[in-house]
Amino acid sequence: MGCFHLTVTSLCFVVVVVGVLPLSLDAQLDPSFYRDTCPKVHSIVREVVRNVSKKDPRMLASLIRLHFHDCFVQGCDASVLLNNTATIESEQQALPNNNSLRGLDVVNDIKTAVEQACPGVVSCADILTLASEISSILGGGPDWKVPLGRRDSLTANRTLANQNLPAPFFNLTQLKAAFAVQGLDTTDLVALSGAHTFGRAHCSFILGRLYNFSGTGKPDPTLDTTYLQQLRQICPNGGPNNLVNFDPVTPDKIDRVYFSNLQVKKGLLQSDQELFSTPGADTIPIVNRFSSDQNVFFDAFEASMIKMGNIGVLTGNKGEIRKHCNFVNKKSVELDIATVASEESSSEEGMVSSI
Ligand code: HEM
Ligand SMILES: *[C@@H]1O[C@H](CO)[C@@H](O)[C@H](O)[C@H]1NC(C)=O
Ligand SMILES: *[C@@H]1O[C@H](CO)[C@@H](O)[C@H](O)[C@H]1NC(C)=O
Ligand SMILES: *[C@@H]1O[C@H](CO)[C@@H](O)[C@H](O)[C@H]1NC(C)=O
Ligand SMILES: *[C@@H]1O[C@H](CO)[C@@H](O)[C@H](O)[C@H]1NC(C)=O
Ligand SMILES: *[C@@H]1O[C@H](CO)[C@@H](O)[C@H](O)[C@H]1NC(C)=O
Ligand SMILES: *[C@@H]1O[C@H](CO)[C@@H](O)[C@H](O)[C@H]1NC(C)=O
């Protein structure tokens, strides 16, 4: 109200400027960041991802999820890639990640290829972001210019991963809250949930919906009964480890079918179906728009992926450019020394035995 009143205009102006400041710092990211230092980075990442996806089409989905799980925990800083060490409690064993994250080895292959071309220049956080955009293209989704220049964290936080990553049994209120913490709005929630247009889930995440929803002894009423029977075939009661396609229609493609599935009660997770089946929700018209026009979904997906990729980034001289994505550089040096030492000792043994 007050912002339109002349006498308080300058006060509102100050508030607005302060509020916008963190965003303009994020804007230090730049699609041409590696133009001089690693001009081929996009094509290198693309070649590795394309090679892997020929044998394993699901990897495109796994790489996008890895980026999401990075960004929601202390920002897009590759913290999710850090392994357990004496000082790091890896996020990889957080509840939403344990036995579920995929693609760590692919990221390491990308890093090796990129290091060969331009050593010490490209961050693991940028590799995750580039791999996500490339996975979108290869999955039939939109392409976009990826803002770059992220640096890698020196820390990880498993507690924060457990706290920040949304759960598949969240209702709409909880989903919106989890996204709001990251500065993401309701449109971002719906657009980014559209990533569940491809990939797989473990049956463990839907057994409740299929056999005993919220302790009712009955299935989730917002689940189509034919689809329910199909899912029960794939996921027998008490069988948590099988995999089920997110999209029964086009399982490996990014398209608007995810949203038309929601309209006919064929969302896989409760968190998916909540977007359409929560009575009176403001997400329903968004689902309808994305379902009726794929270009509208693609434009929104692109915008929200860029927004997600900007969360809490480290730039300038913050963090570091990791040599190995699973370890901070200090630790990598120790491991290098250990490798050299063991090579030296084995070559000494070789000399001794040859005498
Ligand atoms: C809205 C809240 C979300 C919840 C509750 C959620 C939950 C899940 C769960 C439980 C799985 C299955 C994991 C498994 O069984 O191993 C999954 C998979 C997946 N998620 Fe989400 N997710 C959400 C949002 C997102 C977002 C924002 C993205 C990316 C932009 C995303 C991308 C994916 C992809 C691509 C897969 C398939 C991964 C694969 O096949 O390896 N999800 N998600
Ligand atoms: C990708 O596959 C092609 C054909 O098999 C191969 O020549 C090339 O070296 C591979 N590239 C990478 C980066 O793995
Ligand atoms: C890092 O941990 C993952 C499991 O979380 C494991 O697969 C990988 O081999 C580890 N990487 C290294 C370099 O030790
Ligand atoms: C992660 O999964 C492994 C293998 O199933 C299990 O032994 C371990 O306890 C789990 N870790 C955590 C922190 O839950
Ligand atoms: C990790 O996150 C938790 C939960 O937000 C926070 O209390 C804790 O201070 C963080 N730990 C580190 C080392 O940053
Ligand atoms: C969503 O779940 C939370 C926590 O269980 C609960 O407090 C809230 O009332 C639920 N919201 C709706 C709309 O059901
Ligand atoms: C469903 O879950 C509730 C609460 O966890 C439990 O008390 C009940 O026995 C379960 N019902 C069936 C049919 O498994």
Q: What is the pLDDT of residue 17?
A: 41
250 a known binding residue? yes
Q: What is the pLDDT of residue 342?
A: 60
Q: What is the pLDDT of residue 337?
A: 64
- Assess whether 64 and 108 both reside in one domain: yes
Quick check: helix, strand or coil at residue 202? strand
- Report the predicted TM-score, pTM, of the whole model to 2 decimal places: 0.91
For position 284, which CATH number holds?
1.10.420.10
Question: Which regions in the chain score pLDDT beneath 50?
Answer: 1-26, 346-355
Q: What is the pLDDT of residue 339?
A: 67
Range of the domain at 301: 166-308
Tell me the per-residue pLDDT of 194-217, one tens digit each, with 9 for 90 and over.
Answer: 999 999 999 999 999 999 999 999
Q: What is the pLDDT of residue 332?
A: 81
Domain for residue 3, yes or no? no
Q: What is the pLDDT of residue 344?
A: 54
Q: Is the CB of 214 under 6 A from ligand 6?
A: no
Which single residue is written with the structure tokens 């963090």?
319
Tell me the per-residue pLDDT of 144-181, one tens digit each, with 9 for 90 and over.
Answer: 999 999 999 999 999 999 999 999 999 999 999 999 99
Q: What is the pLDDT of residue 335?
A: 78
Q: What is the pLDDT of residue 336?
A: 73
The number of residues in the chain equals: 355
Domain for residue 349, yes or no? no
CA of 164, nearest ligand number: 5
Domain for residue 267, yes or no? yes
- Assess whether 171 and 302 both reside in one domain: yes
- Assess whether 209 and 131 both reside in one domain: no
Active site residues: 69
Backbone torsion region of residue 166, taken as left when φ is above 0, otherwise alpha when ψ lies between -120 and 50, otherwise beta: beta
| Dihedral of alpha carbons 306, 42, 135, 72, sign | negative
Q: What is the pLDDT of residue 340?
A: 59
- Assess whether 190 and 97 both reside in one domain: no
Q: Whose CA is nearest to atom 13 of ligand 6?
A: 173
Tell me the per-residue pLDDT of 86-121, one tens digit each, with 9 for 90 and over.
Answer: 999 999 999 999 999 999 999 999 999 999 999 999
Domain count, the chain: 2
Domain for residue 25, yes or no? no
Q: What is the pLDDT of residue 324?
A: 97
- Assess whether 120 and 180 both reside in one domain: no
Atom number in ligand 3 closest to CA 108 = 13
Calculate the alpha carbon distances from 211 to 73, 229, 233, 265 in Å. 32, 11, 12, 16
Q: Whose CA is nearest to atom 25 of ligand 1?
A: 193
| Residue 152 structure tokens | 């890698």
Q: What is the pLDDT of residue 351?
A: 39
Q: What is the four-CA torsion angle of 1, 172, 202, 312, rounded to 10 degrees? A: 20
Tell me how far apart the terminal alpha carbons of the chain are, to the nearest angstrom.
Answer: 90
- Assess whether 188 and 302 both reside in one domain: yes
Q: Is the CB of 171 under 6 A from ligand 6?
A: yes
Q: Decide: 175 and 166 in contact? Cβ < 8 Å.
A: yes
Domain for residue 100, yes or no? yes
Domain for residue 126, yes or no? yes
Atom number in ligand 7 closest to CA 212 = 1
- Assess whether 179 and 303 both reside in one domain: yes
Centre of ligand 1 from the C-alpha of residue 175, in Å = 13
- Assess whether 230 and 146 both reside in one domain: no
Strand partners, 320: 152
